Amino acid sequence: MPRDVSTPAGARAVTAVAPAKINLHLGVGDLRADGFHDLLTVYRAVDLWEQVTVALVDGDGAGDDSDGEVIVSGPGAYQVPTDRSNLAARAVDLLRGEAGVDARLSIRIVKGVPVAGGMAGGSADAAAALVATDRLLGLGLGRAALESLAARLGSDVPFCLRGGTALGTGRGEKLAPLLHARAEQHIVVALADGGLTTPVVFAELDRLRAEGGTGRELPRAGSVDALVEALAGDDPAGVAGNLANDLEPAALSLMPALRKTLRAGAEAGALHGMVSGSGPTCLFFCAHREQAIAVATEVSETGVAREVRLTRGPVAGAHVIDNPQQT
């Protein structure tokens, strides 16, 4: 039997934000029986944000089709589904079902993370939606319960909830915070035309590795120890020298034009350039903000990227905000 909704006094809508993630280290193991790959990854949250507002819809639903409404705005919004397959909608539905709450809810998403860019924009939507719905319905589930629900929605969702810097294992959903990894980074984000679909990139890696069995072995990312040590200090070059992404050869194989983007960043003087997660976004790690501005300007002028943004990390995970950005 659904229970009554008790909302905190006067709350009719709650807005939460959640950050994009990058993988400073992404080691991909072999394909598992469940279709996922075992990962060893170092996640970092960066200051590109998804904003999700969950609102109670009045009425009993008769003659009113606004329940389940999902509205998406911001760059690339047209590529995002607005039905119940949207990850924010799946998060709301999951939480509502788990809590046995019968409330009619609408969802409004403002995108700030590149769509299909390998930066977990959809996962950030799910994380923000969980936090907003928990607060709106007064469920008070707490971080641990939200994190286990998050893992059911996607491998990156628990990290988008948590933020900061964390070691991820399993399929990426098992997290251990890296509390000493405080070294701040200034990063240039180069967006590409078109997207790459995560499962397709993983499958391409499997294919390349199978080919490697006949002579061209792909290198593997290996240990995270040197990176974790560098992150505890204040040495951007030490961090940059220990970044790794096993998915990069697969992303480059599917989208060879990304090589030009990586070259442009290297020529502009970035400490290190690499594909972000499953791509096709490319990241350029810089020594300081001034260098990041110079690299962003130069990469932008070469015309290899659809759009160039500056970001930095680490930042906090998903949280409720009081003054949402209006669109």
Q: Which residues are catalytic?
A: 21, 156
- C-alpha–C-alpha distance, residues 179 and 166, integer Å: 8
Q: Could you say which of 15, 106, 133, 155 contacts ligand C5P (CB under 6 A)?
A: 155
199 is in an annotated binding site: no
Taking each helix axis from N to C terminus, what angle separates 87-99 and 121-136, rounded to the nearest 10 degrees? 30
Query: Smallest distance, Å, CB 318 to ligand C5P?
Result: 16
* Contact assessment for residue 230 and residue 238, using Cβ atoms and an 8 Å cutoff: yes
- C-alpha–C-alpha distance, residues 171 and 141, integer Å: 24
Q: Within 23-62, which residues bind ligand C5P (CB under 6 A)?
A: 35-37, 39
Q: Which is nearer to ligand C5P, 116 or 181 (CB)?
A: 116
Task: Determine the 3-state secondary structure of 325 from DSSP.
Answer: coil
* Contact assessment for residue 87 and residue 115, using Cβ atoms and an 8 Å cutoff: no
Q: Could you say which of 172, 249, 277, 279 contacts ligand C5P (CB under 6 A)?
A: 172
74 is in an annotated binding site: no
Query: Smallest distance, Å, CB 99 to ligand C5P?
Result: 23
Tokens linked to 192: 């590409």
Beta partners for residue 285, in sequence order: 187, 272
120 is in an annotated binding site: yes
Q: Which stretch in 4-12, 150-158, 242-250, 266-274 sits in contact with ligand C5P by CB under 6 A? A: 150-158
- C-alpha–C-alpha distance, residues 132 and 134, integer Å: 6
- C-alpha–C-alpha distance, residues 153 and 73, integer Å: 22
In which order are the strands placed within the sheet that holds 185-191? 272-275, 282-286, 185-191, 307-313
Q: Which is nearer to ligand C5P, 171 or 209 (CB)?
A: 171
Task: Determine the 3-state secondary structure of 317 from DSSP.
Answer: coil
Query: Smallest distance, Å, CB 31 to ligand C5P?
Result: 7
Query: Smallest distance, Å, CB 27 to ligand C5P?
Result: 11
Q: Could you say which of 76, 112, 114, 154 contacts ligand C5P (CB under 6 A)?
A: 154
How many Cα atoms within 13 Å fall on the side-chain side of residue 295? Answer: 32
Q: Could you say which of 50, 125, 156, 246 contacts ligand C5P (CB under 6 A)?
A: 156
- C-alpha–C-alpha distance, residues 65 and 158, integer Å: 32
Query: Smallest distance, Å, CB 199 to ligand C5P?
Result: 3
Closest CA to 120 of 45, 58, 190, 62: 45
213 is in an annotated binding site: no
122 is in an annotated binding site: yes
Q: ∠ at Cα 264 (262, 266), nearest 5°?
A: 70
Query: Smallest distance, Å, CB 200 to ligand C5P?
Result: 8
Q: Which is nearer to ligand C5P, 37 or 209 (CB)?
A: 37
Q: Which is nearer to ligand C5P, 121 or 236 (CB)?
A: 121
Q: Which stretch in 148-156, 228-236, 238-246, 317-325 sits in contact with ligand C5P by CB under 6 A? A: 148-156
16 is in an annotated binding site: no
Position 86 contacts ligand C5P (CB under 6 A): no
- C-alpha–C-alpha distance, residues 47 and 49, integer Å: 6
Task: List the binding residues for ATP.
Answer: 114-124
Query: Applying CB under 6 A, which residues contact ligand C5P?
Result: 35-37, 39, 154-156, 171-172, 198-199, 202
Task: List the binding residues.
Answer: 114-124
